[in-house]
Every structure is written in C-alpha cells, then in structure tokens.
Amino acid sequence: MEQTGTDRFKTAILLLAAAGLIAGLGFTFADQPGIANLVWIAGILPALMALLVEILRSLRSGEVGLDIVAALSMSAALAFGETLAAAVVAVMYSGGTFLESFAEGRARREMRDLLSRVPRTAARYRSGGLEDVPLDEIAPGDRLLIRQGDVVPVDGTVASEAAFVDTSALTGESLPVRLVGGADAMSGSTNAGEAFDLTATRPARDSTYAGIVRLVEEAQASKAPMSRLADRWSLGFLAVTVAIAFAAWWFTGDPIRAVAVLVVATPCPLILAVPVALVAGLSRAAHFGVLIKGAGPLEAMARIHTLILDKTGTLTDGRPRIVSIDSRGGMDEDEILRLAATLEQASKHPVAQAIVTAAKARGLVLPVPTDVSEVPGEGVLGRVEGRAVVVGGEAFVAGRAGLSAADTAALPAGSVLVAIAVDGRLTGHLVMADPLREGAGLTLEALRREGISRILLATGDRAEVAERVTQGLGLDGLRSGLTPDQKVLLVLTERKNGPVMMVGDGVNDAPALAAADVGVAMGARGAAASAEAADVVLLVDRIDRLGSGIEIARASGRIAVESVVAGIGLSVLGMIAAACGYLTPVQGALLQEAIDVAVILNALRALRIMPRELATPATVDAASRQTELPEAVTS
C-alpha cells in the first residue's frame, strides 16, 4: 500500500508539472504573460518541493545524487524570472522519477501474493467434532486433521497409522515420503495422500515453516539497497556544472548565463535515459519468460560471476519419471506400462500420476479399472479387463499377490522401484527417478560464456543422489544435505568473493534467494515463498532462460551507459555554449529536450535485444516446441 501511495504521488506531481507547462504556454499565446507565469509557478512548486524532500532523505542517508542539479536549475530559473525554463525542467525531472518508480512497481505487482502457501487456519478436534481455528491458537498436544492437499500448519507427529507427504518444498527431496504413526511431520510439507491426524508438538510461531519465513524476512532486511546507476556520475557532473555556472557568472557578471548553464545541465540523460533503458530491459526479459523485479536486480544480474543452483526442480525436472521398464515374464514393456497406468488412474499419488502421464505420452489407451482399492503410500490393486493387477512397492505387491519378494538389482541413488503383478505373477518393474533437465549441461556452458566463472550445487538431498545426477556437468563445487540456514551461510560465504546468484524453486530455497545478490526462483511450478523472496522469477519451466536474462541485463546496462555518456557529453557542450552566451535559459531547456529525445531513442534499443541462444527463427521455433511439449504430455 505504501508503494502504491508513492507511485500515485509521483504520478500526481508529473501531471501537475505537465498541466502547468501546457496551460502556461496557452496563456502565453493568449498574450497573458502574468497568468502564464503564475500557472508555471503552480506547476513547478510541487515538483520542486518533492525534489527537496528527496534530496534531504538522500543526504540523511549519506548519498549525494544528481537531484541537486535539477533543484539548482529550477530554483535559479525561478529566482531570476525564467519560469518557462523552470517549468520545462520540472516536467523533465518529474517524468524521470515517474518512469523509475514505474520500473520497480510494475515488476513487484506481478508477485503481490506474499508467501501464499502459509496456511491461515487448521482443523482441530474438540469436543467430539472439528473446528477451524487460527494457527496462533494451536498448542502442543492439539490433535489436527490434515486433509488431502493441505499444507501441514505446525510441526507435529503423525497420529494416524501412516501419512504420505510431499516435503520437496522443505528438503529438496523430489519424491513424496511415507511417514508411519509417531513419525515427525514438518510444517510446510503437503499432504499428498489420504487425510491423516497430526499431534502438534510446537506452536505455529516456533515451527519449521515459520522459521523459514523469518529467515526470508531477515535476509531481505539485511540486503543493502543498490544505488542507481546514474548516481555513479553524480559528484563529478555536479562539480563540473557548478564550476561552469559560477565561471560564467563571475567572468561576465550576468546571472542569466549561470541559469542557462544550470538548465542545460539538468541531468535528464541520467534521470530519464537510465530508467528507460532498464525498463526496456525488464520488458524484453519478461518477453522471454524472465520476470526481473526492478532495475536494481537487472543491474545486479549484469555483474554476477558466481552461480549457486538448487538441484530438485532446478537442475532436475522436480517430477518423478520412468527411466526404465524391467520385464520379468516376457510381457511387452508397453503392456506392462498400460496395465500399471490403467490401475494408477484411480490414485492421486504423484508417482501414480507420473506413470499415467508416461503411458499417455506413448499413446497407450487406458481402460477403466474395476474393484480398485488403494493403500495410501503403499500401492493399488484392482482388476483391469478382468485381470487381477497389483501395483506398488516390492513388498506390498509381493504380499498382496502371494509372492515372495524378488531379488532386485541395486538401484541408482535417488530412484524408486514400482512393482507390477498380474494374476498372481510378477510381470515387471518400473524404475522411477527425478532426471536431470534436458540440455542442463549446454545451459551451464552458455552461462559460463556469459561470464559466470564459478557454478556450485547446493541441495538438501543426499550426497550420492546429487553426485549421480550432476555427473559430467563440470560443476566447481557440490554441497549436499544442506538445511535452509546452511544454504544462506553458503551464499554469504561466496559473496565474499564477488556477487552471487542463487537459483531454486522450493520454500527451503527462499532464505538463500533473499540473501543472494540476485535470487532466481523457478516460478512456473515453484513455491510462492521462493518466488516472493527472489529478485528474478523464471515464468517458464526452463533454466536455459536464465542465460537469456543475464545477456539481456548486460546488454541493457551497456545501452544505459552509452546513453549516459552521449547525453552527458552533449550536455557539457551545451553548458559551454550557454556560458559563452550562445544560449538563453529557454533555448537551453529546448536543447536539453532535444538531447533527451536522442538519448531516450538510443535507450529504447534495449527493446530489440535478442539473446544469442534465441537469435534465429529456427532456434525460437525449437525453443517453443520444447516449452510446449511437456505441457502437451502432462495434459
């Protein structure tokens, strides 16, 4: 709300300044100069007062910006009766601040729902029934009902026989976990099975999820604000401006020459061109599915040299897939998959849904199963076209089909084995795993070409799983078994050697994303907490777009610098001309407007940036097909 109020205030200042300038010109043409001056002053004063307040705030925080030049030019023009020139400066300045504010606000509004996964209430057993109560009212020992799909609201222990929860947002484990009665359940995990009871062991404020939220808030609060690109030239430009204006007045005795110098010196190439180039860069990045939350993160992206990646949902797809089918009785692989998928249609288990998706991707026709019975977290049994089928874990299938558990080869780390029995006979196994994203190696190579010199993996998963998945990627380091606060520590350690970018997709990544110089969230399927904590959100589920975002950030930064150098150079030439008496204040203002137009047109070149990876139509078409294929397969 505060940001919205600030944006409205800046918009009002711009409208008043523009209306005053236009109305004053109208009265001038109507031969009413006295009224024109009053109207111009009425439009100038709000902009000047807002400018002075901003200058005082900057000075109080130890910053000296180019706003001082704009204030000097407006004040001097008013003092010596050059109200038209002051009005033009007021419009230029207020327009620049409006554009800069718009750049920040536009991106932030895309992620307005802060931490939307945080539950607000919980279903508590009381007096033989259920009541929905706020989280603050839950006390240790309370018995809660966790419905299917609910986020576990507080830390507790499973009070039912078993529970099946998705902890990927907390631990980085991509496959759901079965918890037996009495096992600990972390707040923030999602119930992926049937409803179960939970006995609270901690109040909500002391639970795991609340701690992660606090880590996000603390990391965000500790991050130093980035100074504007324009302010890097502020002191030098301010000194040159004052020196030329003072010299013009001192040697000629004409204060109007000093006013003309100050008007020409109004740093609109810095105030306007920089935000225009950066806003154009933000828009261009969004065109390729990279949402960058403001000009500050865009500028920071251009300076990144160290990249830290999460594993699950970032380097890997984050969803279990079939990596192989093992036939045990001569049955065709497609038939094994068809029978298993037919039965799994009755289950909402993530592994079951992955099996169904794989069958549909192969074009297999799935009939409707009958007599279906599911044991949550164990497996499903029923009849398919009159045949008795059992699908699930090895022990479950063996027990339900009356078989002895078969010997199986050692599975790769991080894999899950799904057994299938038909008519009392083991017919095969499906090996499920969370595979590396297609083209992940090429993506990392492209990032190194963009200047990323150090790439690390940080995951909450086990070391053997992480090593298997990332083998051959040429990473500079691998950190496994990390908790959220350990990921933050890793980011802070790496920041000592230069700017750090962190990429992740789960709630467990949110604190590290907030602590990094640039946090990037896989927002297509990632948790809202990580998306809110991040500075950049990848709106498409493709990590290769990260390289496109970095390239756009660096190109738009170069264009902004070019605009600044050209604009300042022309302004200095104009100041010298004004000091020599060749320009009046009004002419100086008009010249400055012409410089502004040229500089802004150059800044708008950022709208035409085309990342190298997407430079040819064939590449774009291929990228589009890659993006659409998973959606078509999973529909």
The separation between CA 441 and the C-alpha centre of its own chain, rounded to angstroms, equals 22
Lookup result for tokens 């409205």 = 8
In DSSP notation, 338-387 reads: HHHHHHHTT---HHHHHHHHHHHHTT------EEEEEETTTEEEEEETTE
Distance from C-alpha of 437 to C-alpha of 104, rounded to nearest angstrom: 32
Active site includes 310?
yes
Neighbours of 228 (CB within 10 A): 20
* 146: enclosing H helix or E strand: strand 143-146
Give the tokens for residue 264.
Answer: 């020409």
Amino acid at 221: A
Residue 561 has, within 13 A of its CA and on its CB side, a CA count of 9
Q: List Cβ neighbours of 310 (8 Å cut-off, separation of 6 or more).
A: 172, 457, 458, 459, 502, 503, 504, 505, 506, 509
Distance from C-alpha of 34 to C-alpha of 462, rounded to nearest angstrom: 79
Q: List Cβ neighbours of 135 (8 Å cut-off, separation of 6 or more).
A: 119, 120, 121, 122, 153, 154, 204
Distance from C-alpha of 23 to C-alpha of 39, rounded to nearest angstrom: 7
Query: b/e for 79-111, b at 16 or more Cβ within 10 A?
Result: eeebbbbbbbbbbbbbbbbbbbbebbbbbeeeb
Lookup result for tokens 């109207």 = 39
* 126: enclosing H helix or E strand: strand 121-126
Distance from C-alpha of 15 to C-alpha of 9, rounded to nearest angstrom: 10
Measuring CA to CA, how many Å separate 62 from each of 100, 227, 464?
21, 12, 50
DSSP at 388: E
The torsion angle over the Cα atoms of residues 7, 9, 14 and 19, rounded to 10 degrees, is 140
Query: What is the side-by-side strand order in the sheet with 190-191?
Result: 177-180, 162-166, 190-191
Q: Check 150, 166, 310, 509 and give the catalytic one.
A: 310
Measuring CA to CA, how many Å separate 95 from each of 47, 88, 188, 275, 379?
10, 11, 44, 11, 63
Q: Which of 588, 587, 585, 593 is nearest to 80 (CA)?
A: 585
Distance from C-alpha of 189 to C-alpha of 191, rounded to nearest angstrom: 7
Q: Which of 527, 546, 556 is nearest to 455 (CA)?
A: 546
* Angle 96-97-102 from CA coordinates, rounded to 5°: 100
SS (H, E, C) 60-74: HCCCCCCHHHHHHHH
Residues known to be catalytic: 310
